[in-house]
Amino acid sequence: MRYGSRALLGLMAGVLFAWAPALNAANVTELSRSLGKDREQTLLAEARKEGKLVWYTSMAGTNYKALAKAFQEKYGIQVEAFRGSSKRLLPRVFGEAESGRHIFDVLETTPPTLMIVRDAKLLAPYTSPRLGTYPDIAKHTAGKGLVYWTTDRESYMSLTYNKKAIPPDAVPRGFGGLVHPALKGKIGLATTSSGKRAIGALIEVKGEEFADRLKAQEVSLHAVSGRALLDMVVSGEVGVSFSTYRNHAVTAIAKGAPIEWLPMEIVVANAGGFAISKDAPHPHAALLMADFVLGPEGQKILQEHHNGSAWKDPGFKRWYPEGGMTREQYLKAEKGWNKKLTAIGRK
Dihedral-angle region of residue 218 (phi above 0 means left; psi in -120 to 50 means alpha; beta otherwise): left
The closest alpha carbon to 123, from 286, 2, 288, belongs to: 286
Which domains can be identified in the chain, with CATH numbers? Answer: 6-16+24-154+270-315 (3.40.190.10), 155-268+332-346 (3.40.190.10)
Q: In the predicted model, what is the mean pLDDT of residues 133-148?
A: 93
pLDDT score of 14 more than 90 = no
Helices of type H across the chain = 6-17, 28-34, 39-50, 61-75, 86-99, 111-119, 193-206, 208-213, 226-235, 246-254, 283-294, 296-304, 327-344
**Per mean pLDDT, which range of 188-192, 224-228, 315-319 is the poorest?**
224-228
Give percent of the chain with pLDDT exceeding 90: 82
Task: Look at residue 125 and tell me whether its pLDDT is greater than 50.
Answer: yes
Q: How confident is the model at residue 2 (pLDDT cuts 50, 70, 90)?
A: very low
CA distance 286 to 280: 7
Which phi and psi (to 5°) does residue 197 adopt?
-70, -30
Mean pLDDT is lowest, of 24-38, 126-140, 142-156, 203-217, for 24-38
Taking only the tens place, the pLDDT of each residue in 64-102 is: 999 999 999 999 999 999 999 888 999 999 999 999 999
Give the residue-averaged pLDDT of 133-144.
92
**What percent of the chain stands above pLDDT 70?**
92
Predicted confidence at residue 79, as pLDDT, reads: 97
Backbone angles phi, psi at 58, to 5 degrees: -110, 10
Confidence bin at 26 (pLDDT 50/70/90): low
Q: Cα dihedral angle (232, 238, 243, 249), rounded to 10 degrees?
A: 50
pLDDT at 260: 98
10: pLDDT strictly greater than 50: no
Record the pTM: 0.82
**Tens-digit pLDDT profile for residues 161-172:** 999 999 999 999
Residues 206 and 189: their CA atoms lie apart, in Å, by 17
Task: From 210, 277, 215, 270, select the one nearest 245 (Cα to Cα).
Answer: 270
The per-residue pLDDT for range 188-203, each reduced to its tens digit, is 999 998 999 999 999 9
Average pLDDT score over residue span 154-182: 97
